[in-house]
Amino acid sequence: MIDIHHHCLPAVDDGPREMAEAVEMCRMSRDAGIETIVATPHVLRGRWQNTSRHKLETILDSLREKIGDAPRLVLGSEYFFAHDMAEVLRTNGGIVPLGGSRYVLVEFAAQAIPPLIEQPFYQVQLDGWTPIIAHPERNDVFRAKPELLARLIQLGAKTQITCDSVTGHFGPEAERAALEWITGGLVHIMSTDAHNTGRRPPRVAAAIQRVRELAGADVAEHLTRTNPAAVIEGRGLEWEPEPQVVRGGGFLKRVWELFGHRENRSH
């Protein structure tokens, strides 16, 4: 697996506080089958500035010295969306693209999507950047209006869901959205969004297994390997399904009911 969303850098955001925990997260990732991690510290004005790329690279180098070359570590960031995103990118104002590519990971608050986001998304793409929307399945508005997510995808955005959503750790609503959207062609990449060794560790096996059962081994491979590899290598994605949104019943709902009722899992 190539994990494009991972908070493994110590003492830069709400990830690990100490280097020792960061090292342990990397070892857990390696043991889980993650070959490459894109370290994606939060970039959020007023809370986590993280505007010094040099400082982040220095921390990354220190971590790399301790873990060796497995997993391979590259730098990125998780940018908390603001409408001047294009300007921030133009002025190197803190957004670190994923692995030196032209892809940028963008998150929104969990409860809201700001109005008029199509224009800045369009603008950054004019400048040659491709936004990847981080964990839309954990956002109330995208869950209520998946057509908004489909629209952004049709306008060129990509999406990344979280392994822990697929396995229910973020609750039944995020789980249901993640599974429906995988089947409905609204998901391009699956990543851990790991934050620590405790409640949010880098765990992947159960999520990959669930995607395989739901959508097949090929889709699981695309979400965890071929598409994220294309991202960090700066290529177009290998797998881009046509988004389909079915609300209030229909095929996707039946898939969910069949799948959801088959297992009695406790969380």
The residue assigned the tokens 């799948």 is 259
- The distance of closest approach from Cβ of residue 61 to Fe ion in the complex, given in angstroms and rounded to an integer, is 22
Considering the complex, state which of residue 78 and residue 175 has its C-beta at the smaller distance from Fe ion.
Answer: 78
Question: What is the Cα–Cα distance from 61 to 245, expressed in whole angstroms?
Answer: 43
Q: Which C-beta is closer to Fe ion: that of 108 or that of 183? A: 108
Nearer of residues 10 and 185 to Fe ion, judged by Cβ: 10
CB-closest chain residue to Fe ion? 193
**CB of 10 closer than 8 Å to CB of 19:** yes
Whether the CB-CB separation of 115 and 245 falls below 8 Å is answered with no
**Contact residues for Fe ion (CB under 5 A)?**
78, 193
In the complex, the smallest distance separating the C-beta of residue 177 from Fe ion, rounded to whole angstroms, is 17
Q: Minimum CB separation from Fe ion for residue 253, in Å?
A: 29
Nearer to Fe ion (CB atom), residue 163 or residue 255: 163
Q: Are 192 and 162 in contact (CB under 8 A)?
A: yes
With respect to Fe ion, which residue has the nearer C-beta, 160 or 183? 160
Q: What are the beta bridge partners of residue 132? A: 105, 158
Q: Least distance (Å) from Fe ion to the CB of residue 15? A: 8
Token match 């969303």: residue? 5
* Smallest separation (angstroms) from Fe ion to the CB of 95: 14
- Residue 133 or 177 having the CB closest to Fe ion: 133
Least distance CB 77 / Fe ion (angstroms): 10
CB of 134 to Fe ion, least distance (A): 6
Calculate the CA 2 to chain-centre distance: 11
Helix axes 172-183, 205-215, angle to 10 degrees: 50
Complex with Fe ion: residue 78 or 137, whichever CB lies closer: 78
